[in-house]
Amino acid sequence: MTRTEIVHTDTGDARITWHPARGARRILAVSHGAGGGIEARDLQALAQALPAHGVTVALVEQPWRVAGKKLAPAPKTLDTGWRGLWPALEKPGLPVIAGGRSAGARVACRTAKELGAAAVLALSFPLHPPGKPEKSRADELLGAGVPTLVVQGGNDPFGKPAEFPEPDTFELVEVPYGDHGFAVAKRAPTSQEEALETITGAVVTWTRSLG
């Protein structure tokens, strides 16, 4: 049974939708990007798949999204909102993996060490703005300071897997033919369902490896 919780933060009310696992060993808290919400295909796939593997999934909506705004605020404001809801994520007393897609992945990386996250899951990490590889955000990823898994679409204009630094401080899994939202073209030799299975399979395997 899913449940929804409103959490008050310094930037407004955030919302957590809990997908509990029986006998949960850890919590995966994942937030959305700057252009969408928790209805994103990868977030929904993880929420459906991981509880069967002992991982409670908490889908997090930042205050700007709960308030119905269409544009995400500055990174500093996103970080403040994330910090404000972190105590609610820790309340069950389990290790919390900080995660997110796109802008949410950046927030998770920037705050992981400070908040005591057990690990970071970065979905579609926006390594650079499209067409501007010189404006790299690799420092945010490399500075996470905890075990980190990057799941990246093979055709992501915000950074293809080959553009990432050598993964000595993080693991990287490619979703073949996936774009920034992990959508695959109908003409691609892999299906949308297979792309989502790649994501969920990689995350399940990785969470088990965390011990």
DSSP string, 146-187: S-EEEEEETT-TT--GGGSPP-SSSEEEEETT--TT----TT
Give phi and psi for 66, each to the nearest 5: -60, -35
Please name the amino acid found at residue 164: F
DSSP helix/strand/coil, 121: strand
DSSP helix/strand/coil, 132: coil
What does the pLDDT read at residue 168? 83
Please name the amino acid found at residue 193: E
What does the pLDDT read at residue 166? 87
Give the DSSP H or E segment for 115. Answer: helix 103-115
pLDDT digits (tens, 9 = 90+) for 158-180: 999 999 998 788 999 999 999 99
- What is the rounded distance in angstroms from the CA atom of residue 1 to the CA atom of residue 88? 18
Please name the amino acid found at residue 45: A
Q: What's the whole-model pTM score?
A: 0.96
What does the pLDDT read at residue 167? 76
Sheet holding 148-153, edge to edge: 3-9, 12-19, 55-61, 26-31, 96-101, 119-123, 148-153, 171-175
**Two tokens, residue 18:** 């809990």
- What is the rounded distance in angstroms from the CA atom of residue 180 to the CA atom of residue 122? 12
Handedness of CA 67, 76, 131, 161 (dihedral sign): negative
Per-residue model confidence as pLDDT tens for the chain (211 residues) = 899 999 999 999 999 999 999 999 999 999 999 989 999 999 999 999 999 999 999 999 999 999 999 899 999 999 999 999 999 999 999 999 999 999 999 999 999 999 999 999 999 999 999 999 999 999 999 999 999 999 999 999 999 999 999 878 899 999 999 999 999 999 999 999 999 999 999 999 999 999 7
What does the pLDDT read at residue 211? 75
